[in-house]
Structure 1
Amino acid sequence: MATRRNVSSAATTEETDGPLNQTTATATVTEKQPCIDEAIARNWEIPNFTIKEIREAIPAHCFRRDTFRSFTYVIHDFAIISLLGYLATYIDTLPNVWARILLWPVYWVCQGIVGTGVWVLGHECGHQAFSPSKTINNTVGFVLHSLLLVPYHSWRFSHSRHHKATGHMSKDQVFLPHTRSEFAHKIPATRDQDPIPDGPHDAFEESPIYALWRMFLMFTVGWPLYLFVNASGQPYPGWASHFNPRCAIYEEHQFWDVMNSTAGVVGMIGLLTYCGQVFGSLAMIKYYVIPYLNVNFWLILITYLQHTDPKLPHYRENVWNFQRGAALTVDRSYGAILNYFHHHISDTHVAHHFFSTMPHYHAEEATKHIKKALGKHYQKDDTPIPVALWRTYNACKFVEDEGDVVFYKN
């Protein structure tokens, strides 16, 4: 017989990405008994803490935004980008062909890593975490993201939806799990008909070469496809795109912000085209396009592993609330060097999801306090990133169509 438990739910909202009042969280009892069979079977305890409890555990200074300090990170990143670009101008002057073959990939990798840090700073502006001034946030964010061909406001709005509904099966915005019914042509359509309901299913067995090819596509074209056609995003009617201000992602009053964001990307493409005419197309590919693709790789890898893991569930409406969704986030370290240049977006992401207006330079300290406050509900995975990626990709195929707490199956 199916087991049912009463679970309280809290409805919370925030000005941009989270609770409207982060010092309070009002619990309301759901009218319908939630189905948490999978949570019981996996010994998953649904947390009942409030935003107020978590916020009070963090020192007040961690929430302070310092415009000058934030700008020092912009200067830091652009100084390194400029230095790398300047040094790269000497690569083709080297007489040794093998040195040139070796040094260009070194430049591409390094520039992609630092460029990802610039993307993170633009992301911070989108959350209004860069400065207390909304004008400064949006001006800096617009410039930084346009330089990386990201439609700043368009992405800011859709990303805010992700923060407001993290881990929600029908409202989260990206990397939503497929359901069993979507794989009915490969596996039994219902759990009751499935002799191996929790997998693994032979139908999902893929050769390593094919799996690597699929991951290659995800890491190269996944980000542009998400921006253009909402690939892997929440399904919307019609052409859902970050370049379509009339699509269901956006509200009417956001029309001109979306249009301005598109203009920023178009302007950057025009600048790149002009530079290609002046310096040559091959130079633009070597100095900008390949590092840009590397930035896209890091964005997809980081975001994919932040909320996708075999041990993490997704919640449906009957169980989900803001703080439970925020706790469905995994902190992962990419090593001291990458954590530094990525401004700790990965190893402090739990803190970011609870309080997205917190500047990144306070997130490490805040994480220590959040870890204590969340206790066993704090999620961190120290698995080496390549191993974690391979495990997650192969183990996270679908979830059940029914149930208010659902885990990935394969």
Structure 2
Amino acid sequence: MSQVFYGNNTNLRVFSAIPFLYKQAVRSVNQDDESLLAHREKELFGTGVCCFTRKSEGLCVVLFSLVELSDQEALDNNMGAGGCMPARKTEAQQKNHLSRVPHAKPAFTVGDIKRAIPPHCFQRSLICSFSYVAYDLAITFLLYYLATTYFHHLPSPLSYLAWPAYWIVQGCVLTGLWVIAHECGHHAFSDHQWVDDTVGLILHSALLVPYFSWKYSHRRHHLNTASLERDEVFVPKPKSKLSWYSKYLNNPPGRIITLFTTLVLGWPLYLTFNVSGRPYDRFACHYAPNSPIFTSRERLQIWISDAGIIVVSYLLYRMALAKSLTWVICIYGVPLLIVNGFLVMITYLQHTHPSLPHYDDSEWDWLRGALATVDRDYGVLNKVFHNITDTHVVHHLFSTMPHYHAMEATKAVKPLLGEYYQFDDTPFYMAMWREAKECLYVETDETKGGVFWYQNKY
């Protein structure tokens, strides 16, 4: 096990009064070191000792591997006399989500991060993955059964409440199924690519998503995250390239219109017209096999994606003829709008935050780009959405990791990532409003060219 201690003194020692720590002095650490770096790493009787410094905080941070932690109370008592206390963020640090994260190249590598994660977190289980599909489908059909069997028997006041409740809950559950299909696109569902593509194609087509089209464009997003030239989705613009009408929307009514349009129409507009996506030299569309989004080797699978959409659309047409268009809208259409809204919101909030940098080609590299994302807290919906919301940082680092290991992996990497890890527990509905107000365009850093930050002043 490991424990981190902060100390205000330049010289930090492993106190011999603590019986369950190996006795060893740690070399003095200069608090004026320019960056967070490993000052010393040594194996001592099987106990790792590593010192770090951070100039901005004026603190020395020492990481000790403890031999025994069976008597936590004794540890707490001994710490009172030595000038070292268990590391905890101050209240100000916990609340300040808007402080810019570091943009310099980190001292750690992707290999270092991977070694910090338990190896079993990278193992995919076909049975476990299918259990989540079965669970979500069971709830989906249960809600469908309740709505079609009992809602028409309810008196008018109750029916007006029952249908909105059905739409919201069904939309949330179907968003969870969307996330599982998204995992299939990352080859995180099983060890068999054909299984992943089959399950992903069925689930995404059922939600009117072109599976292979999304898989390929989303893969490019992961390869180019936070790159102003090559990222695929929610690519911010510099102030000079904003639309002429943007400044007229920079007010509460304008933000309401913008958010409503984004949540309701954002997903189909992105798929059809590449709105908010990377600019291409010609028309880009997820439904067009010859779109510049795709390579020539991918075009056949784009046709397969389109065929899946056509089949589901025809089934919905037949259901509308048999039941009525109103029935299809109530049972399927409105929940699908909620799925699309959550999808856009989740993606937007994962990559839009005042603390996150973007980079041009002179500064961008894959690791810093992958770290330029933020974990969010959606409350109980974190579980409904299979934790895609609060484990997105580790998902960008290792996208083939299944979602049911992502929480454990996130906890394992947070101490190593340090200030490069960003988590914001602002309620998502408040965060949407704040980001729509604060994150209007990007401008280059005053002291570091090639690094861009969100601004909102016209």
> If the TM-score is normalised by the length of the shorter chain, which range does it land in?
0.7 to 0.9
Question: Secondary structure at the residue paired with 1:407?
Answer: strand
Question: Secondary structure at the residue paired with 2:375?
Answer: coil
2:358 alignment partner AA: H
256 and 395 in structure 1: CA distance in 2 versus 1, 3 angstrom threshold: same
* Structure 1 residue 165 corresponds to structure 2 residue 224: yes
Superposed counterparts of 1:294-309, under 5 Å: 294-309=338-353
129 and 111 in structure 1: CA distance in 2 versus 1, 3 angstrom threshold: same
**Out of 207, 225, 232, which is 2:269 matched to?**
225
Which aligned runs of 4 or more in structure 1 are off by greater than 6 angstroms?
Answer: none
Structure 2 gaps, min length 5: 1-34, 36-98
1:300 deviates by 0.5
* Structure 1 residue 373 corresponds to structure 2 residue 419: no
Higher RCO (CA 8 Å, separation ≥ 6 residues): 1
2:249 and 2:255 in contact (8 A); partners too: no
1:184 deviates by 8.4
* Structure 1 residue 276 corresponds to structure 2 residue 320: yes
Structure 1 stretch 44-53 or stretch 151-160: which is displaced more? 44-53
Q: What residue is the counterpart of 2:193 in the other structure?
A: 134
Q: What residue is the counterpart of 1:75 in the other structure?
A: 134
**Aligned equivalents of 1:169 and 1:95: distance in 2?**
53
**Aligned equivalents of 1:95 and 1:120: distance in 2?**
33
2:444 and 2:450 in contact (8 A); partners too: no
135 and 251 in structure 1: CA distance in 2 versus 1, 3 angstrom threshold: same
1:204 deviates by 5.8
Question: Secondary structure at the residue paired with 1:399?
Answer: strand
**Aligned equivalents of 2:414 and 2:430: distance in 1?**
24
2:267 alignment partner AA: W
1:176 deviates by 0.6
Question: Secondary structure at the residue paired with 1:400?
Answer: strand
Q: As a proportion of its length, which structure holds more strand?
A: 2
* Structure 1 residue 123 corresponds to structure 2 residue 169: no
* Structure 1 residue 360 corresponds to structure 2 residue 406: no
Q: What residue is the counterpart of 1:326 in the other structure?
A: 370
Q: What residue is the counterpart of 1:47 in the other structure?
A: 105
1:72 deviates by 0.3
1:94 deviates by 2.7
1:89 deviates by 1.4
Q: What residue is the counterpart of 1:347 in the other structure?
A: 390
1:91 and 1:104 in contact (8 A); partners too: no
State the Cα deviation string for residues 243-276 of structure 1 (Å, max 9, x = none). Answer: 1111111000001000100110111101110111
**Aligned equivalents of 2:100 and 2:178: distance in 1?**
37
* Structure 1 residue 178 corresponds to structure 2 residue 237: yes
**Aligned equivalents of 2:228 and 2:338: distance in 1?**
30
**Aligned equivalents of 2:222 and 2:411: distance in 1?**
21
1:317 alignment partner AA: D
TM-score, normalised relative to structure 1: 0.84
Q: What residue is the counterpart of 2:436 in the other structure?
A: 393
2:277 alignment partner AA: G
State the Cα deviation string for residues 299-339 of structure 1 (Å, max 9, x = none). Answer: 0010000010111110112221111111111000100x211
1:91 and 1:103 in contact (8 A); partners too: no
204 and 374 in structure 1: CA distance in 2 versus 1, 3 angstrom threshold: farther
Q: What residue is the counterpart of 1:210 in the other structure?
A: 254
**Aligned equivalents of 1:65 and 1:142: distance in 2?**
19
1:47 and 1:377 in contact (8 A); partners too: no
**Aligned equivalents of 2:194 and 2:205: distance in 1?**
16
2:101 and 2:419 in contact (8 A); partners too: no
1:88 alignment partner AA: A
Structure 1 gaps, min length 5: 1-6, 8-40, 188-202
Q: What residue is the counterpart of 2:204 in the other structure?
A: 145
141 and 52 in structure 1: CA distance in 2 versus 1, 3 angstrom threshold: same
Which structure has the greater CA radius of gyration? Answer: 2
145 and 185 in structure 1: CA distance in 2 versus 1, 3 angstrom threshold: closer
Q: CA RMSD in A?
A: 1.8
Superposed counterparts of 1:80-99, under 5 Å: 80-99=139-158
Q: What residue is the counterpart of 2:299 in the other structure?
A: 255
1:182 deviates by 1.1
1:185 deviates by 5.3
Q: What residue is the counterpart of 2:81 in the other structure?
A: none
State the Cα deviation string for residues 5-44 of structure 1 (Å, max 9, x = none). Answer: xx9xxxxxxxxxxxxxxxxxxxxxxxxxxxxxxxxx9684
**Aligned equivalents of 1:213 and 1:186: distance in 2?**
13
**Aligned equivalents of 2:101 and 2:165: distance in 1?**
46
173 and 95 in structure 1: CA distance in 2 versus 1, 3 angstrom threshold: closer
46 and 281 in structure 1: CA distance in 2 versus 1, 3 angstrom threshold: same
* Structure 1 residue 66 corresponds to structure 2 residue 110: no
2:104 alignment partner AA: I
State the Cα deviation string for residues 264-293 of structure 1 (Å, max 9, x = none). Answer: 011110111011111111110000000000
